[in-house]
Structure 1
Amino acid sequence: MNYQEIARETIGYLYQSHASIRRSGLDNTLIALAELRTSQLNGCSYCCSFHANELREMGVSQNLIDKIPGYQHSVSFDEKQQLVLQWTDAVCSLSPNLEKIKNDLGKLFSEKEIVELTASIALMNALNRLRITLGEKF
């Protein structure tokens, strides 16, 4: 189903929100990292491929991208990347650790950055679900 065409205005607003997040001032590499992790958790093959390619184009090594699913057991991620991945997991699962991780984020990120990052994760969850349920198989 071509959901993007069928509901052009509604879906367009979602993509406008995505563009706004990308212009927010938060490091786009961290946003793409969260978007890839969200897509991995949701099992959206199209979005996983898209965001992995995007990270490579941003200069992130394939070696680091390959380690994202096991980031909890890796020393390859810097402190910000590690927190972004932890936050992504917590937001996607509505973890009981949300407050602790949010407090940790507050040590390295501004409130605006935390809101933009969280909006990015929430939006990617919605986009993943649209793609998985209504999009063409990839």
Structure 2
Amino acid sequence: MEARMKNPASIIPGVIQPVQELMKAAQSQGLPQELMEMIHLRVSQINGCSFCVDAGLKNLRKLGASDDRVGLVVAWREAPYYTDAERAALALAEAATRLADNTDAVPDDVWDNAADHFDEKQLASILLMTAVTNLFNRLNAPIRQVAGSW
């Protein structure tokens, strides 16, 4: 299998560095790297981006996440391996990814639960990680970026 084209962010000059800086900024607010990677993985699963799902799985394993935590991110609501804070972050990331699924993009109960666990900078970090992941998914999936090609 081969991608349809090179990643658009690598074709247009001046794009990749600001996107990487945005990702770095999102990850600089003191949230555990494992949580940030779980957000990346879950958003990528929702969007069906095999390249990003593959990267998320590999990054979580490098961080030492257990097979249970890695493998069941897709079913985090039913799986016992996540803290209440992680569940709140994953719910927020899912809602912010599935904007069209609700009349209120992020329902108050989802927002309030996340706000009970995270301060404003951490919420911003979760939302930025979600947004940047959605950006990568929307670049990689249409060109059929091959999983494992990094």
* Code of the aligned partner of 1:105: A
Is residue 137 of structure 1 aligned with residue 142 of structure 2? Answer: no
Query: Alignment partner for residue 106 of structure 1, among 82, 90, 115?
Result: 115
Deviations 1:57-81 (Å, cap 9, x if unpaired)? 1111011111111111122211111
More helix as a share of residues: 1
1:47 aligns with 2:41: no
Q: Distance in 1 between matches of 2:17 and 2:132?
A: 13
TM-score by length of 1: 0.91
Code of the aligned partner of 2:44: S
Q: Using the alignment, how far apart are the partners of 1:26 and 1:72 within structure 2?
A: 20
Asked whether the equivalents of residues 91 and 98 of structure 1 are also in contact (C-alpha less than 8 Å), the reply is no
Give the alignment partner of residue 7 of structure 1, picking from 3, 7, 12. Answer: 12
**Residue 87 (structure 2) pairs with residue 82 (structure 1):** yes
Shift of 1:116: 1.0
Task: Tell me, in whole angstroms, the C-alpha distance in 2 between the residues paired with 1:8 and 1:29.
Answer: 31
Moved more, 20-29 or 121-130: 20-29
User: Which letter does structure 2 place at the counterpart of 1:17?
Assistant: L
2:42 is aligned with 1:37: yes
Question: Residue type of the partner of 1:101?
Answer: V
What are structure 1's unaligned runs of at least 5 residues? none
Which ranges in structure 2 are unaligned for 5 or more consecutive residues?
A: none
Distance between the aligned counterparts of 1:135 and 1:4, measured in 2? Answer: 14
Identify which of 122, 126, 137 aligns with 2:135: 126
Q: State the SS of the aligned residue for 1:33.
A: helix
SS at match of 1:73: coil
* Greater displacement, 33-42 / 51-60: 51-60
Is 1:64 the counterpart of 2:98 in the alignment?
Answer: no
Sequence identity, in percent?
22
Deviation at 1:12, TM superposition (A): 2.2
Distance 2:18 2:45 in 1: 24
Query: What residue identity is the alignment partner of 2:42?
Result: R
